[in-house]
Amino acid sequence: MESAQYIAYLLSEPRKVSCVKASEVLEVSHDEINRFLLSSNFTGKDLFEAVQQGLQLEGGVLSADD
């Protein structure tokens, strides 16, 4: 699994996320999701860079919550 796939899942999930739900959406085992999260080191900046093209950055307010 790649970081981009997991980031896309996070952006598309309107409710609470979990390894089990991610495994259903991404069609991989929840153990693979868990191993990926334990071994990966991506940041909020990585998420922003992945979605930056789809954002209109003039005016308004960006609010994010972990």
d(CA 40, CA 4): 12
Q: Are 33 and 19 in contact (CB under 8 A)?
A: yes
pLDDT score for 36: 81
pLDDT score for 44: 75
pLDDT score for 8: 82
pLDDT score for 14: 80
Distance between alpha carbon 41 and the CA centroid of its chain, in Å?
Answer: 13
- Grouped pLDDT means (10 residues each) for the chain, 66 residues: 80 84 87 84 77 78 73
Full-model pTM = 0.56
d(CA 33, CA 17): 12
